[in-house]
Chains A and B, each alone.
Chain A
Amino acid sequence: MDHTDPHDENVYDALATADEDGRWAFGTGFDAGDAEITAPSPEGVDRADLATYCLMLADDALIASQRLAGWTTKAPELEEEVALANIALDLLGQARVLLSRAGHLGAAEPYRVGPQDDEDVLTYFRDDRAFRNVTLAEADLGDFGRTVAWVLVFSAWRLALMQRLTGSRDPVLAAVAGKAVKELTYHRDYAAQWVLRLGDGTELSHARMQAGLDGVWPHVEELFLAHDVERRLVEAGVAVDPAELRGDVDAVVAQVLPAATLTRPETPAVGLVGGRGGRDGVHTEALGGVLALMQSLARAHPEATW
């Protein structure tokens, strides 16, 4: 094919005719990042702890991604739908690598029912109590205002976490974090722009933006609580202490809210149950609905391959 004048030649045409099979059939047989995922756990690091920590960070992204995907076909504008789907896709990508890593460390075995890859076993065949995500990830996204408040808090927190995780002794966590930092930075930018626009907009948009922020706020405190697994892995140089992240998140909140004429909410935090929260598998009612939507098809046809 002659490519001397690209304006006369639609380069995309070649894609339609090149080969018929295999193209665009995404989601089949993905074994993410084999170069790193099969690395042994770093010396002196408990394998089960590392698997659990990978699940925690994977589940945050997986459940958040599933929530955001709920906007597809329903967002106020096509551009925002594409944006939210893009953010969901980035988070899903982060989740898949972390799930595969957790699976490599043995986390998928108790749930295996068929021929699926580790990441599918962990996604589709675990019950709610086995999910380790923070409850913010599963929280109802409500309207668009509440969604952008949620994206702002979630991405500011996860960015602070991933930035520190680039120095992890575990090569997979460090590698995932290196990519995630770039992605979360523009997720946070996107959300901040909308919080600003809606907060400092009309009387109605301001009221709904404030209500959205108030609705998300009860889940913020949990983001800074360390689980025993996290504490042990912080000692081992693998994990990040969630308490360290408060300063970064507070700084973003303190920068955006006044500019958006919004008030820092004082809504009380979602209480832990007997000292246990999302990291222990103790979730809010909301997770059940998320999992039903995400898992029911795979559970109805556990032997299906796709």
Chain B
Amino acid sequence: MVTALVDAREAAERVVDPEMPMLTLADLGVLRGVETAGDGTVVVTLTPTYSGCPALEAMRDDLRAALQDAGYDAVEVRTTFSPPWSTDWISDEGRRKLAEAGVAPPHRIGPKAAGAPIPLTLAPPSQTVPCPQCGAADTEEVSRFGPTACTALRRCRSCAEPFEHVKEI
């Protein structure tokens, strides 16, 4: 066959996240690998953002559909949990797109010290999350748990607009 196929990796990377569709799966950092097996099957490896993330099923369907549109009929989508996804894996491009869409991107948290008990902090978090609408630093958390597993709800005290924040994990 001489049909020029879109590169499988490119096709997979362009699929958007079903809950935050301003991001592609590549921006979100959940795409662990796109490989073509010996028999031509495209094997895509995904990692979920949260253990119970219901979007994983939609991502599988969308990946299969996108790859089939690109000319790959045999597609296998695998999931892996290790190493666990972190918001640090959201690309710079992804962070820019989140902010443009009015969603505050997560701070970078860096690697955590292994072994020691994770401290419980009773005081409100000290890091500021600037308002993605007006840029003011004076914002407050309304709820740690937002409309999707990975976002929190915040409100700007300056422009009074509510907004979502991709919370750091």
Contacts and interface: CB of A to CB of B under 8 A. Distances in A.
Contact of B82 (A19, A26, A171, A189): A171
Interface stretch (A40-48, A90-98, A220-228, A273-281): A90-98
A178 B84 contact: yes
For the residues of A in contact with B, the DSSP-based class is helix
A293 B18 CA distance: 31
Interface stretch (A31-39, A107-115, A116-124): A31-39
A166 B62 CA distance: 32
Interface stretch (A78-86, A208-216, A264-272): A78-86
Interface stretch (A233-241, A252-260, A284-292): A252-260
Contact of A89 (B52, B85, B167): B52
Nearest to B45: A35
B149 A89 contact: yes
A11 B101 contact: yes
Interface residues of B, number: 45
| B interface SS class | loop
B21 interface: yes
Contact of B120 (A36, A163, A166, A192): A192
B135 interface: no
A196 B51 CA distance: 28
Contacts of A190: 144-145
B45 A96 contact: no
Contact of A189 (B52, B83, B120): B120
Contact of A34 (B52, B78, B85): B78
A256 B21 contact: no
Contacts of B57: 25-26, 28, 30
- A-B residue pairs, 10 tightest by C-beta: A93-B52, A93-B51, A175-B82, A175-B81, A83-B145, A35-B80, A79-B143, A178-B84, A89-B52, A22-B61
